[in-house]
Amino acid sequence: MASHVTHPGTRRNKILFDEALPVDHRLNTVYRIGAGLMGLFLLAFGILGLTDNIGFFDTGGNTAIGLNTNGALSVLSICVGLLLFVGMVIGGNFASTLNMVLGVLFILNGFLFLGLLSTASNFLAFRIQNVLFSFIVGLVLMVFGMYGRVSTNLPHDNPYWRARHPEAEQRAAPATDDQVR
| Per-residue pLDDT reduced to its tens digit, 47-97 | 988 887 676 766 676 777 778 888 888 899 999 999 999 988 888 788 888
pLDDT value at residue 52: 72
CA distances from 148 to 46, 95, 114, 152, 154 (A): 31, 13, 31, 10, 7
CA distances from 137 to 3, 106, 133, 161, 175 (A): 39, 7, 6, 27, 48
Which stretches in the chain have pLDDT values below 50? 1-7, 9-11, 15-19, 21, 23
Taking residue 169's Cβ as centre, other Cβ atoms within 10 Å add up to 13
pTM of the model: 0.71
pLDDT value at residue 158: 64
pLDDT value at residue 143: 87
